[in-house]
Amino acid sequence: MIRHRRPDDSRVQGRTVALLAALLVLPSLVQAQTTAFWNLFGLRSGFCIEFLISPDQFRLTPFQPGLAAPASQARRLAPVIARLVTQADSLASWYPSTLCLIQADSSRTGGDTQHHKDRPVSVLFWTVAPVSDSLPASAVLFATEGGLRGTQDLSGSAEVTRFEATLDVDAETGERVITAEIDETGLGWDGLVLPDTVAAGPIRDQSWQLVGKAPYWRVDFHAAPGSRRKVSGSLRVRGEGLLARLLLASPIRWVGEYWEGGTAHFGFSRGL
């Protein structure tokens, strides 16, 4: 006969107390591991491209399907994407994705402030919708070569890919000409910033899990542009790179608003 011994109550209570203590300490440990931040000041430009990725092509991206939501399950969709998916049921299984470019006059990493008057510092981030509001979105992060000190400290743990970007503004017409080169993908946006305001106040805060090597990197993003205005322009995509193929295959490539002035903040930490 096998007799089961009842665990000693004092041992159970001791383990419970230890577990609760560990859980209470965990948030402070995660917070203590914040290792870097990028603050951008004097935004020269900021805009996002909303597009869709087919299920077949999504397998080619660095994102994991289990951590990304298709359009039918995404909690937050850009209104233009939501309307398109409603009109075409076949797009419900496609993955909504966002590619954003920010350019600024100056940046600060730690106590080091850099000014980029001749050539603005540029950051590009590519995200997909998370499967749950309680989880951070997956993201790929790009930064201009030498523009943000501290990126090399992150590159050993997460992909922070270098890219090139330019910004030219016609002094007479105000037309913006923006270009970006990412691997074998070339992007260009030519257009005017209209006087009509899209919205007032900061951009919705976002949290991302960087796609890359272990250990896990989390990015908390906050932007408070001086203005958020409508645009009239055209987007050009060329090349044989992955982003070029995804954008050209998308049934929509939408640029909804233009950010100018104000600040943007990227905070990096390890852990969930």
75-105, pLDDT tens digit by residue?
889 999 999 999 999 999 999 999 999 999 9
Residue 5 lies inside a defined structural domain of this protein: no
* C-alpha closest to that of 130 among 85, 83, 76: 76
Q: What is the pLDDT of residue 215?
A: 55
Residue 31 lies inside a defined structural domain of this protein: no
14-59, pLDDT tens digit by residue?
443 333 333 333 343 344 355 678 889 999 999 999 999 999 999 9
- The domain tally of the chain equals 1
Q: What is the pLDDT of residue 35?
A: 67
pLDDT, mean of residues 178-198? 93
* C-alpha closest to that of 125 among 203, 20, 35, 34: 203
pLDDT, mean of residues 60-80? 91
Residue 192 lies inside a defined structural domain of this protein: yes
pLDDT, mean of residues 212-229? 83
What's the chain's average pLDDT? Answer: 81
pLDDT band for position 213 (cuts 50, 70, 90): low
> Does position 120 have pLDDT exceeding 90, yes or no?
no
Q: What is the pLDDT of residue 143?
A: 84
* C-alpha closest to that of 262 among 211, 227, 221, 213: 227
Q: What is the pLDDT of residue 145?
A: 56
Instruction: Give me the percent of the chain exceeding a pLDDT of 90.
Output: 52
The CATH number of residue 184's host domain is: 2.40.400
Q: How far apart are the first and last CA of the chain?
A: 47
Residue 29 lies inside a defined structural domain of this protein: no
Residue 117 lies inside a defined structural domain of this protein: yes
Q: Which two tokens stand for residue 97?
A: 């994705």
Domain extent for 109: 36-270
Residue 19 lies inside a defined structural domain of this protein: no
CA distances from 38 to 2, 82, 153, 220, 266 (A): 62, 32, 12, 11, 5
Instruction: For the full predicted model, state whether its pTM sits above 0.85.
Output: no
Which of 15-19, 133-137, 236-240 is most confident?
A: 236-240
244-260, pLDDT tens digit by residue?
999 999 999 999 899 99
- DSSP assignment of 204-217: PPEEEEEPSSSSPE
> Does position 107 have pLDDT exceeding 60, yes or no?
yes
Residue 184 lies inside a defined structural domain of this protein: yes
Q: Where are the alpha helices (DSSP H) in the chain?
A: 9-32, 55-58, 79-87, 151-155, 242-249
Q: What is the pLDDT of residue 133?
A: 80
CB 177 within 8 A of CB 186: no
Residue 30 lies inside a defined structural domain of this protein: no
> Does position 214 have pLDDT exceeding 60, yes or no?
no
196 vs 187 pLDDT, higher one: 187
